[in-house]
Structure 1
C-alpha cells in the first residue's frame, strides 16, 4: 500500500514535470523550469519514501534515503520560491534573489551531507543528528513561511479563479510543511535533550501509524501533494476552461441569431460589417464575433427606442405578474422580448410611434461593459423573443383557420 502510494505519486509528479517542460510554441510560461525542477525534486523525495526504494538505497548507503529525501525537499522548496520570484519581481531582481537562495541551498545541503557522514562514522551520534535536523528544519521552515505568505498575497490579486484556487491550495500545503517543520523541531529537542519522546526504531506500517508517522511522513506528503496540485491546477484547468468557454460562445452566437436577424433587419444601419455576416464558428475568433453580435443587438435596441411601446410593456408586465415572475431575470426578459417584438413589427410596417416610450429594460446600465452578463441577459431575451414569435404565429394561424371555417 505504502509502496503504491509513494511510487505512484512520484510517477505522477514526473509526468507533471514533463507537461511543464513540453514546448508551447515559441513561448514558455514564466517560471517553467522552476516548476519543472520543483516537481522533479518532489518526485525524488516521494520516491525515497517508498519502502522498496528506501531499501535499495540503504543497501548501498545506510540511511541514505533520508539524505536524498531531505535534500530533494529543500531543492524543491528553493525551486518553488524561484518560481514566485520570477512571477512577482523584475527579471534582474528575481535572478539576484534566486542566486542567493541557490547559494543558501548549496550551503545547507553541504552542511547536512557533512553531518550525515560524520553521524555514520560516529555510530549515529544523537548530537550530530540533531544539528543535521536543525539545518534542514530551519531552511525548510523559513522557505515554507516565505512561500506561504507570497502565494496567499498573490491569490488575492489574481483575477482567474483557477489561479486563486491553486494558490490557496498551495498555501494550505505550506501549512502542512510548517507542521512537519514543527515536528522536526520537537524531534530535535527530544534527541538533543535525551528525552526519548520519539522512538527511533518504530516503522511506519501505514501513513498514520504509529502517531509520529502522521507528522514525519504524512504531513510532508500532503504538503507536497497540495503544493504541486495548487501550482499545476491553473495549467490543467486553462485548456478545459477554454474549451467550455469556446463552446459557450458558439452556442450563444447561434442562440442570438434569430433576435439579431430581426433587430438588424429593422435597423440595418447597426451592422458593423455588412459584407461579413457569415461566420464559421469552428475557425473564426468567436469571442470577437459574439462581442460584435451583442453590440449590434444593443445598438438595434437603441435604434428602435422610438417604437418601444409603453402599452405593450405594461401588458407584458401584467402577464408576467400573473405568474408571479415579476423582478426575475426570466420575467424581465419576457417583458423586454414583447416590447422588442412589437417595436420590430412597428418599424417594419412603417407605423408611427404610438406615444409614450417604454423605458429601457431593468439592469441595462449595470451590464454595460460586461460581455458575459450582457450575453446572458440577451440569451434570456432571445429565448423569450422566439417563444413570443411562436405564440404570435400560432394565434395568426388559428385566426386564419377560423376565418376560413366561417366563410
Structure 2
C-alpha cells in the first residue's frame, strides 16, 4: 500500500514540476492548472498511504482525511480550469475559473472549520455529516461539470489522442461519481444514525468493501483523469518523431523521379528566397517543395503524354486500382520524358491522370500517391521514340 500510493505521489509530483518548471517560456495555456492538478492528485495519493497518514495524524489526529479531501477538491478545480481554457475564450474561461476558485476556497474553509469543531466535540456524527455534505456537494458539482466538458470535447476534436484522452477522463469521472455516491450513502447513514458503513476504518485491501469505494474508486478516478489529460502531451512528440521520419524517407524515395524531371525541365525547381533558406532544415518544407516540383513536372509533360502508351499500360498492368493507376501514370510519364528528350509529340495526346497529385488536397495524400508513381517509375523499362514519333519500350 505504501509503495503504491507514495510511488504514485512522487511520480505525480515530478510531473507537476515538469509542467510548471520545464515547459519553457512562454508557457502554453493551462500550464499552471495542469501543474496544480498533478500536485493536488499527488497529495491525494500520499494521503492514502498508511505511512503518510500515520505521520501527519501523529501531529493532528485524523487530519489525513481533511488533506485528502481538500486535495481532491483542488484537483477537481484544476481539471475544470484546464477544460475551460481549452474549450472557451480567454475572458469567459477566466470568469468561470475565478468563480470555481472562490467556491473551492469557501468549501475548504468550511470543511476546515467543521473538521476542527468535529475534533473538539469528539467526532460528532452530526458535524461530520455536515462536513461530508459540503465536500460531496462541491466535488459532485465539479465532476459533473468536467464530465460534460470532456464529452463535448471528445466529440468535437479532430486529434485522436485528445479524443481518447478526454474519453479516459470521462471514465475517471464515472469512478469519481461512484466515490461521491459512496460518501452520500455514508452521509445518509450518519444522518439517520444507523452507522451502516464504517467510514473511518483502515483499508488493508483495495478490492474489499468499503475500501473499493472509499480508496480504489477515487484512486482510479485520479489515474484515469491524469492519464487522459496528459495523453496528448505524451503522444504529440512521438507522433512528430514518426512524422519526421516518414517525411525524411519520403523525400529520399522521391529523389530519383525528381532528379529525372528536374534534369529535363530545370524550370520546375522552385527558386529559394531568404525565408526558404531559413526553413531548409525542415523536413516538412523540403518534402512539400519536392512534391510541388514533381507535380509541376508532370503537369509540364502534358503535351507529350501518349494516348497509345496509356492504353497499352492500362491493358497490361495488374494489381489493385490505385496501384494499377500508379503503374499507368509512371509508364506514361517515362514515355513523355522520352518524347521531350527527342523533341517529338505523340500523334494523340492522353488526358491528365484523374488521380494525380494536382487533384489531391494535403501533403500526405500527395506524397503517398507520388511515392507509388516513383516506385513504379523506377521499375519501368527505358523508353525510346521510334521513327513514327511514338514512344516504345526498349527491347519491345
Q: Report the Cα offset of residue 363 of structure 1.
A: 6.7
Q: Report the Cα offset of residue 46 of structure 1.
A: 0.5
Aligned to 2:376: 384
Runs of 4 or more above 4 Å deviation: 278-281, 389-392
Aligned to 1:338: 331
Aligned with 2:123: secondary structure? coil
Indicate if the aligned counterparts of 1:20 and 1:32 stay in contact, CA closer than 8 A: yes
Q: Report the Cα offset of residue 157 of structure 1.
A: 2.9
- In the alignment, structure 1 segments of 5+ residues that lack a partner are 400-407
Structure 2 length normalisation: TM-score?
0.90
- In the alignment, structure 2 segments of 5+ residues that lack a partner are 385-391
Aligned to 1:314: 311
Aligned with 2:183: secondary structure? helix
Greater alpha carbon shift after TM alignment, 218-227 vs 312-321: 312-321
Indicate if the aligned counterparts of 2:186 and 2:199 stay in contact, CA closer than 8 A: no
Aligned to 2:133: 134
Aligned to 2:29: 30
Aligned to 2:211: 213
Deviations 1:335-391 (A, max 9, x none): 2211211111221222212314144143756x5221111111111111111122589
Q: Report the Cα offset of residue 274 of structure 1.
A: 7.3
Aligned to 2:342: 349
Q: Report the Cα offset of residue 74 of structure 1.
A: 0.3
Paired residue for 1:368, among 350, 360, 370? 360
Q: Report the Cα offset of residue 161 of structure 1.
A: 2.3
Indicate if the aligned counterparts of 1:170 and 1:231 stay in contact, CA closer than 8 A: yes
Question: What are the equivalent positions in structure 2 for 1:91-240 lying under 5 Å apart?
Answer: 91-200=90-199, 202-209=201-208, 211-240=209-238
Please, what is the CA RMSD of the aligned residues? 2.6
Deviations 1:66-124 (A, max 9, x none): 11000011011112212222333333333332222111111111111111122222222
Aligned to 1:402: none
- In structure 2, how many angstroms separate the alpha carbons of the residues matched to 1:311 and 1:190? 88
Indicate if the aligned counterparts of 2:304 and 2:346 stay in contact, CA closer than 8 A: yes
Q: Report the Cα offset of residue 310 of structure 1.
A: 2.5
Aligned with 1:128: secondary structure? helix
Call closer, same or farther: CA 1:79–1:302 in 2, change over 3 Å.
same
Call closer, same or farther: CA 1:275–1:264 in 2, change over 3 Å.
farther
Indicate if the aligned counterparts of 2:257 and 2:377 stay in contact, CA closer than 8 A: yes
1:19 equivalent in alignment to 2:18: yes
Indicate if the aligned counterparts of 1:267 and 1:304 stay in contact, CA closer than 8 A: no
- In structure 2, how many angstroms separate the alpha carbons of the residues matched to 1:269 and 1:150? 53
- In structure 2, how many angstroms separate the alpha carbons of the residues matched to 1:54 and 1:388? 74
Structure 1 length normalisation: TM-score?
0.88
Greater alpha carbon shift after TM alignment, 192-201 vs 239-248: 192-201
Call closer, same or farther: CA 1:157–1:331 in 2, change over 3 Å.
same
Q: Report the Cα offset of residue 127 of structure 1.
A: 1.6
Indicate if the aligned counterparts of 2:334 and 2:383 stay in contact, CA closer than 8 A: no
- In structure 1, how many angstroms separate the alpha carbons of the residues matched to 2:312 and 2:220? 62
Aligned to 1:405: none
